[in-house]
Amino acid sequence: MAVSVSHNPEDVEGFFEKSESGHTNNWAVLVCTSRFWFNYRHIANTLSMYRTVKRLGIPDSNIILMLADDVACNPRNIFPATVYNNRGRHLDLYGENVEVDYRGYEVTVENFIRMLTGRVAKDTPRSKRLMTDDQSNILVYMTGHGGEEFLKFQDAEEISAYDLGDAFQQMHEKKRYNEILFMIDTCQANTMYTQIKSPNILATGSSKLKESSYSHHDDPDIGVAVIDRFTYYNLEVLEKIDMQSKATIKDLFDTYNYNLLGSTHGVRTDLFPRPLDQVPITDFFGNVQNVELTDSKKASETETNEWVDTQEDAELDPFVHDYSEDKNESSTLTEQVEPTYQVLQDHRFEIGSPDGSQLWRYIAFVAMSVGLVGALTAGSSIV
């Protein structure tokens, strides 16, 4: 299909503008590593981010959602099959079209690292695969209980800062990303990105070494905290933007405040070459939709060449009738190619044609006769 293109770059600036980061697709990896009812807020943190990235355009096919527990169905939940991140309970995070890719005991350090690096089993379904390439921007969000250079999984194992740094290094070597935004909400969160060495990675965390991260508020009816502060104040910004927003990552980071968070946030930029005031928030939390335009002149020449090739093929085929004597010069491409296809079809053997079907009927009759005689002989022998 040919698309006419204006020669004035200003006519398409903005709408057809290519991403400055050079990426062509967005992915999100959202991980809650905590189990048990009292960690309700960690599930709410993750589902809140899940809802936000979907609203900003990242489809479920490009989201890996890992939830270590299902508090929505916990018997202590007096609002069954729901998860809320606010005591007002205006928005059920679990109520509409939530696709959990790894749940319960599937959320392990091994599965997380295998998913990031692409070293999954052959029978792993597509929904559990991070199918990224060197033009993918990836948001990696993690929440749970942590300490100095570790994050607990399921209260049974830990992933270290070294494990995470090694996983990102493998991703870089295998060209599995263009840029990564690593965001983590846990105690001593900033220590989790200290061992990252790979390029084009931007990282932020909720608290520095020896500091805890805190919940924002609880719900007296649910009986536990429903969201953490760091995630809450990120959402305050993210909920105010849409897919066309020009807000930048710097605008987001500038909202971080110790008096609100109760902890010292961290941002690591030494591996990330772009200025933060030139990085749209939607480069990681949204989705790009690039449109490839074809010049109308080139498209017309391509169609003409295809028409000529078709005509030359028809002249070389001995089974094609010469229609030049019956048609004048105004004959269309369709009028010339369609009869050609019909003549060629007449010389092709097809199952079900009169000649073929008679042969198959004869073979089937002989086979059935032999089988019947064999059955009768076997029956008489038994008698």
User: Annotated catalytic sites, by residue?
Assistant: 145, 187
Provide the 3-class DSSP secondary structure of residue 218.
strand
| Euclidean distance between CA atoms 35 and 107, whole angstroms | 10
- Structure-derived torsion over alpha carbons of residues 42, 45, 48, 49, reported in degrees to the nearest 10: -120
Q: 194-211 in b/e burial notation, b at 16+ Cβ within 10 A?
A: bbbebebbbbbbbbeeeb
Nearest to 271 by CA among 146, 162, 172: 172
> What beta strand segments (E) does the chain contain?
25-32, 63-67, 102-103, 136-143, 146-147, 150-153, 157-160, 179-185, 201-205, 215-219, 224-228, 266-268
Provide the 3-class DSSP secondary structure of residue 219.
strand
Tokens of 110: 């091994």
Tokens of 118: 């692409």
CB atoms within 10 A of CB 57: 16
| Euclidean distance between CA atoms 265 and 206, whole angstroms | 5
| Euclidean distance between CA atoms 35 and 69, whole angstroms | 5
Contact (Cβ atoms closer than 8 angstroms) between residue 231 and residue 143: yes
Contact (Cβ atoms closer than 8 angstroms) between residue 250 and residue 276: yes
204 contacts: CB under 8 Å, gap ≥ 6: 181, 182, 183, 184, 253, 265, 266, 267, 268
